[in-house]
Amino acid sequence: MAVGGGSSRPPRLVRLSYSPRGAKFHLALVGKGITFDTGGLDLKPPDGMYTMKCDMAGAAAVLVAVHAIAQLGLKIKVTAYGALAENMPSGSAYRPSDVLTIYGGKTVENGNSDAEGRLVMADAIARANEDQPNMLIDVATLTGACVVALGERTTGLMATDDATAGLVLDAAETAGEDVWRLPIPGEIRGKLDSKVADLRSVTGDRWAGALVAAAFLREFVAKDTPWAHLDIAGPAFFDGKPYGYVAPGGTGVGVRTLVALARSLSG
């Protein structure tokens, strides 16, 4: 609600579920759906804003993945959550230093209105917990830092445990999508400490931005729920010469990996 508060188009949380008879595993998929990202009051430069119509690629991926899984008739329950908002600057926009209450009650000190994706994702992850999934995967065009680290064709993966990371990496290999695992170092969480809220949305420095964002999201995942985070900021949108099946524009990255993961979990 805070992130979308500056827009004339109100935010939405879309929930889509496929629940076939006999399914024994529940997979939750959470996607970032920032329909356009100006950066809000922490306004992006013009060149950084031009492709921000693709900032909804994570939500698109999880919603389409559920549709594909249903069409394939896989025996697995899958629920997708698309966290949709337009991040705009206006008199009603949320501000740096605002203390926001995430769904479920945790409070967050907003450090930068251009770090909006993790806020809408926190809401959606917290809501997904209520459906008690056996595994939770989130997909988001979350950080420029991941593009700096891995380039424009490789997705960054961070996870709660080796087994979950291995399942996602195996699915990505089966699907033919490039995914590379990154860590969430233990000291990162301390950088998110806040004097006025449960945690801050960003740290006070610019280092390890992709890992910081993952550490923030992990705070909202239910205890003991296997979780993986896919940062698709690099490969979600492509503006070069076509290669393989990838043409200029939105690439649909992540869909194939999520379908392959669902197939492997369906038994």
Residues assigned a catalytic role: 44, 118
Closest CA to 118 of 145, 152, 78: 145
Give the single-character DSSP code of 47.
H
Tokens representing residue 20 in the block: 């076939």
SS3 (DSSP) at 208: coil
Do 156 and 235 touch, CB atoms closer than 8 A?
no
CA–CA separation, 102 vs 217, rounded Å?
Answer: 12
Under a CB-based contact definition with an 8 Å cutoff, are residues 251 and 236 in contact?
yes
State both tokens at 55.
């900032």
For 219, counting Cβ atoms within 10 Å of its Cβ (0-12 exposed, 13-18 middle, 19+ buried), the class is middle
* Residues 232, 58 contacting (CB under 8 angstroms): yes
Edge-to-edge strand list for the sheet holding 107-109: 99-101, 107-109, 199-200
